[in-house]
Structure 1
Amino acid sequence: MSIELGVLVAIAGLVISYLAYQLTHIKEVKTDSQENAEVKAELGYIRRGVDDIKIDLRANEKQISQMGERITRVEESTKQAHRRIDQLKGGDQ
């Protein structure tokens, strides 16, 4: 009878150990899933931020290009104005 009791205690110990392992495993899976969801959410936030930066960069590049064109026109206009001034100075002398 003591051998049967020992076997029963051993089996109960194995069952309890297995259940404890399963409980721990389930908690780890939940924790890993939660961390994974948080990482995905943060990556989504970063992705949106990068997209916003790209949009702003394109707008800035367009604005710089337009300013370059305007500066070129102003330089040409200034060059013509200097020629006219030089002609007026030459005609007065």
Structure 2
Amino acid sequence: MTIEIGVLIAALSLLMGVLGYQLNRQKHQLIEQKEIRSESQSGAEVKAELGYIRKGVDDIRIDLKANEKNIAHLSERVTRVEESSKQAHKRIDVLDSPDK
């Protein structure tokens, strides 16, 4: 049983082609896994940053509500002071009037 050189070369070529295909496939799978890992990591970083931004916005809202309450309180006080000053001017006008 002699194996012809052509058949031997064809069989070796086929074997090398199959091995090359497998190695290439494994290489692409590793690359895809690395890409998926990096995309996952990027997604996690984006989620974390969004969480920080959300917390910051919530803090700003709380501060804004507190400032609105302070402004409302100050507005009431200014109104009272204006009323008091009007009454004081009326009393001063009565004291300054030459009718007495």
Matches within 5 A, 1:30-69: 30-69=37-76
Question: Normalized per residue, which structure has more helix?
Answer: 1
Match of residue 19, structure 1, among 26, 30, 39: 26
Which residue in 2 is equivalent to 1:9? 16
Matched, 1:90 2:97: yes
Gaps of 5+ in 2: 1-7
Shift of 1:74: 0.2
Aligned amino acid, residue 21 of structure 1: H
SS of alignment partner, residue 8 of structure 1: helix
Matches within 5 A, 1:63-82: 63-82=70-89
Q: 1:47-68 CA deviation, whole Å, 9 max, x = no partner? A: 0000000000000000000000
Gaps of 5+ in 1: none
**How much is the aligned-residue C-alpha RMSD, in angstroms?**
1.1
Aligned pairs, how many?
A: 93
Shift of 1:91: 5.3
SS of alignment partner, residue 97 of structure 2: helix
Aligned amino acid, residue 42 of structure 2: E
- Cα distance in 1 for partners of 2:46, 2:99 equals 78
Aligned amino acid, residue 55 of structure 2: R
TM-score, normalising length from structure 2? 0.90
TM-score, normalising length from structure 1? 0.97
Runs of 4+ in 1 over 3 A off after TM superposition: none
- Cα distance in 1 for partners of 2:97, 2:20 equals 113
Identical aligned residues as a percent: 54
Shift of 1:31: 0.3
